[in-house]
Structure 1
């Protein structure tokens, strides 16, 4: 890292591909690493593309409802929630962006999901990644004939496909079409997320750091995908997972092991703890 003097006073992590293993579980080493952060009194929280209900499985084992009780960011920063999953603020997609995104994703051959503050909606319940998402977030979708009654309530749209090249191509098309109107980033090789303009992980990091009264230069972040790049550009220290894409690694200050070999725990031990000011646990 370029600056070995500035302390780390806030640590923010991505969830899928970073905190969790490929089978969406927390390892003992990961839980122990978070406990060490709590013991030092270091503020720690999560920013994810997940919907709010997707955080429920993480609150208790990581003790996020104790101590500082920091807010978490869902929908890539488009929704801020407390550890009880109560909405503290949410951004919605403009109607025209929602309609244009749905049409574009379908034209590019992707299945489309729509998320609101409280629900996950699909038109194809047997879609390629529906079962995978149910396992990941521990919630089931609501099947609708179409999204017409939800256009004004969309907090996030997801396009998914088993053809990863299609997802990349769709990301490029949407980035052009939605420029200045909404954000389009891949959160997994098989998912592309569209969220409101300004609702990205970089802005989420800014909000959380402001709440904590901590300078951005003293914030460390950890992630693995293109939707993590806005927070890499915002935080003082950016750490990439070993399973991150090459584009993400190129923007990182350091790279840890992958999420099959306790990369989160290694990042905490190697890059976070040496720069933490010890303080009493709150």
Structure 2
């Protein structure tokens, strides 16, 4: 029996306009009201600020639900906002990433508790673009202050061509030292080695005494792959990348056509 379904947000639960379909809202609210034993857990790269606007429509505020955020580096409770688990990246170790980004004209931000932090004098268009998507708050931070600040991850932003070129300059030993993922065309994320959506999901599963074989995961992008490989049942969205489909057991419909709720219906029949 599937006891937990881990669900990505962007490109999965949300459509291309970053909206919830009306059928999705109703389905989730009804699902929670039924008191079904299976848990629906949001598992996203977004921070808490970027998840909050959707919670009421999904019925996650009427009682407490666990949410995995920051690409697996944080778990918190939907109703209380209480942080259950944090996995911060080493603030000193990421300094070389900041320098590499600046050298190649890449925008660099740190994702902290409650804030995004800019290492540039002025926010760039890419910073403002990403922060707006997740309803975040952006602060300027000095390198000196960053050494004593907790960051879940580092974000390196630029247009697709810029980042394609930038990735060729990342030393392999850095990739071995950190978890590095191209989560969006415009975004490379850097977290502590081993910290990803699978890590967050595993921490929660242990807390709830749920086995991987009792977990299904639904996703569409590169930062979902570890989560899909960890879960007993891996479900790719119809709009997922080919690399995601390759590691999945099932391919459901797209994020424009209720792919998530169609997949959940299949699981709990």
* TM-score (structure 1 length as normaliser): 0.85
1:260 aligns with 256
1:278 aligns with none
2:106 aligns with 110
| C-alpha contact (below 8 Å) 1:174/1:184 kept by paired residues | no
- Aligned residue among 5, 24, 29 for 1:11: 5
CA shift, 1:254, in A, is 1.2
SS at match of 1:132: helix
CA shift, 1:166, in A, is 3.5
Q: Which runs of 5 or more structure 2 residues have no equivalent in the other structure?
A: none
| C-alpha contact (below 8 Å) 1:114/1:157 kept by paired residues | yes
CA shift, 1:215, in A, is 1.1
1:4 aligns with none
Gap change, CA 1:56 and 1:34, over 3 Å in 2: same
1:85 aligns with 81
1:246 aligns with 242
- 2:154 counterpart of 1:160: no
| C-alpha contact (below 8 Å) 1:98/1:151 kept by paired residues | no
- Aligned residue among 195, 217, 225 for 1:229: 225
| C-alpha contact (below 8 Å) 1:33/1:268 kept by paired residues | no
1:189 aligns with 185
CA shift, 1:209, in A, is 1.4
- For residues 21-36 of structure 1, the aligned pairs below 5 Å read 21-36=15-30
* TM-score (structure 2 length as normaliser): 0.88
Gap change, CA 1:80 and 1:93, over 3 Å in 2: same
Q: Which runs of 5 or more structure 1 residues have no equivalent in the other structure?
A: 1-6, 275-282
Q: Distance in 1 between matches of 2:85 and 2:38?
A: 24
Q: Distance in 1 between matches of 2:22 and 2:68?
A: 24
- Aligned residue among 46, 51, 71 for 1:50: 46
- Aligned residue among 45, 53, 62 for 2:58: 62
| C-alpha contact (below 8 Å) 2:8/2:224 kept by paired residues | yes
1:277 aligns with none
- For residues 206-217 of structure 1, the aligned pairs below 5 Å read 206-217=202-213
CA shift, 1:179, in A, is 3.7
CA shift, 1:168, in A, is 4.0
2:134 aligns with 137
1:279 aligns with none
For each residue in 1:64-117, what CA deviation from the matched residue of structure 2 results, as whole angstroms up to 9, or x when unmatched?
Answer: 2334x2321221111121113222221221134311211222334321111111
Q: Distance in 2 between matches of 1:92 and 1:205?
A: 16
For each residue in 1:108-156, what CA deviation from the matched residue of structure 2 results, as whole angstroms up to 9, or x when unmatched?
Answer: 4321111111211223755333343344212332234x44312342221
- 2:169 counterpart of 1:202: no
Q: Distance in 1 between matches of 2:75 and 2:184?
A: 21
